Structure 1
Amino acid sequence: MPKRKSAKPKHPDPDPNLPLDQQTLIVAPAPGDRAVVLPSGDVVPVPDSWSLLPPGDAGVTRRVKAAGPTWTMKERKGRREFSQGLWADTAQIETAKASMEATRNTPQYAKAKVAAKVRREEKQEEYVEDFHTAVVAFLNFNPVYASIADRFAAAVTQHATPVGSGTVARTQRIPIERRAESAVIAWMRHQTTAYDNMTIARVKGERREVRRQLAAQSRRLLEKYRSGADDAMQYCPLAKALRSQA
């Protein structure tokens, strides 16, 4: 029996009993500079006294939303939605900007910002250590190859853990053990196979199948190191890749 596709989440429609400019809504961009698409699909103009606050300044955005009403403009790309900014009364936006600027010029804000930066750096350092440990655990190399495991884990960790890297290591949706496994396989795909130079047919599922085959190839390679095979490093693309990064 075929699996039913789950319906895409729909944002609430406007209240028909209230003017649109008195409601806080989630909308989508429409053709033209000052029009949006409501969840119902209707295209409506943006109020003349409103302006678009671009995304990027969370502090100002929070204050504009708190003052309300606002229209958050989101654009769907695949399964994800991305913010394209916030429509709100122009005076409301300017007031929020001035308020945020005044707050940021206080000694208390500067002190809090430094403290927050220290906390982020400490958290990042802790995560890097935990991730490195998880990678070593996944590799599970024979003690004969313990130094190789450490170098390998360091290379994967250095590539995968920087903030903003967009790698699987930065997601919180899956356990760290699975993140470590996925990061190792991804690193090997690019460093120990010909994947980056492959010509892959533009057929649905073809790239996924190629990745599956390369992942199986990488896992077979890892098994040599796990078993402690004497010839694991002979003509080994992993050993070669690690030497090139030394």
Structure 2
Amino acid sequence: MWHARAGEGYWNPERGDVSVPDGWVFVPAGDAFVTREVKKGPHWVLLKRRKGYTAKLGVFCPEENLDVAEKRREETATSRARQRAVGRTSRERAEERYRAEMERAILDFLAFRPQHAALAEEIAQGAVTQATPVGSGRVGRTRKLSLPERAELAARAYVRHRHTNYEARLEKIREGMGFDIDPDPDDPLYREVKAEAHRDVEAFLERHR
């Protein structure tokens, strides 16, 4: 790894001040394909220390290697675009399968009587939408819990927010605080509201099972 100095020139922790070899060029970070290609051959990685972290600015490599990498980028552009499309379709199908599995697991947890089937479907579909956005970090995305556990938590959260007075109670706490933010989880009043909502959810589930 070579580091950019404050002034001109470069420095390596093992070699000290160094100069870029003749015939080498700088490839700025940003084109992942070209960077991967040139790093298959001789190269230097250029770093720059910034406040709190070290940034990778790019790489130096022989100019002919860059020419080969750029030519290969153009030659493979169509096939790589096709591969990305296939990968995107595969991920979308996997996501659809997961959402369907999650919905079935929620219906299994609810176990509502037949006359409440429409309500169960509404809860299952709403809970899946609420709990499974990719990258959200919500309960539907965690792998630390089993599918049935995720389904139960997602269903309970949806019922709590949509079929109890939890939101209205929470709004009263916010009004009392004077801030439009959620209260501290350790706040006694908030814990009381959560406990009441838990009891309301249990009662709601029992009424429909």
Length-normalised TM-score, structure 2: 0.57
Shift of 1:108: 1.7
SS at match of 2:106: helix
What's 2:56 paired with? 87
Tell me the residue number matched to 1:217. Answer: 196
> Which of 207, 216, 220 does residue 185 from structure 2 map onto?
207
- The SS at the match of 2:56 is strand
* Aligned: 1:21 with 2:2: yes
1:60/1:100 contact within 8 Å kept: no
Structure 1 residue aligned with 2:132, among 142, 161, 164? Answer: 161
CA contact (8 A) 2:160 2:198 kept: no
Residues 1:133 and 2:104 are matched in the alignment: yes
Partner of 2:14: none
CA RMSD of aligned residues (A): 4.7
Deviation, 1:197, is: 5.7
- Paired residue secondary structure (1:146): helix
Provide the C-alpha distance between the structure 2 equivalents of 1:126 and 1:68, rounded to a whole number of angstroms.
Answer: 44
Query: What is the CA–CA distance in structure 2 between the aligned matches of 1:146 and 1:117, rounded to whole Å?
Result: 34
Distance in 1 of aligned mates of 2:157 and 2:48: 36
- Correspondences of 1:223-234 after superposition (within 5 Å): 223-228=202-207
Q: CA deviation at 1:215?
A: 4.5
Give 2:105's aligned amino acid.
A
- Structure 2 residue 170 is matched with structure 1 residue 170: no
CA shift, 1:154, in A, is 0.9
Shift of 1:151: 0.8
- CA change 1:114–1:51 in 2 (3 A) is closer
Cα pair distance change 1:108/1:134, threshold 3 Å: same
- TM alignment of 1:50-199, pairs within 5 A: 53=29, 69=45, 86-91=55-60, 95=66, 99=70, 102=73, 106-191=77-162, 192=164, 193-194=166-167, 195=170, 198-199=173-174
Higher helix content, 1 or 2? 2
Provide Cα deviations, 1:109-152, integer angstroms capped at 9, x if missing partner: 12212211211111011011011112222223344423211111
The alignment partner of 1:163 has SS state of coil
Rounded to whole Å, the distance in 2 between the matches of 1:184 and 1:48 is 62
Q: Is the 8 A contact 1:160 1:183 kept in 2?
A: yes
Aligned residues: 175
Q: Distance in 1 between matches of 2:194 and 2:130?
A: 18
Normalising by structure 1, report the TM-score.
0.50
CA 187–157 in structure 1, closer or farther in 2 if over 3 Å, else same: same
- Structure with max Cα Rg: 2
Shift in alpha-carbon separation, 1:208–1:125, aligned structure 2, 3 A = farther
CA distance in 2, matches of 1:207, 1:52: 46
Q: Which runs of 5+ in 1 are unaligned?
A: 1-19, 23-31, 33-46, 77-83, 233-246
Secondary structure of 1:91's counterpart equals strand
User: Mind listing any 5+ residue stretches in structure 2 that lack a counterpart?
Assistant: 7-17, 21-25
Q: Aligned AA for 1:21?
A: W
1:62 CA drift (Å): 5.8
Q: 1:171 Cα shift?
A: 2.2
3-state SS of the aligned residue for 1:141? coil
Contact 1:141 1:225 in 2 (8 A): no
Separation in 2, partners of 1:52, 1:85: 15
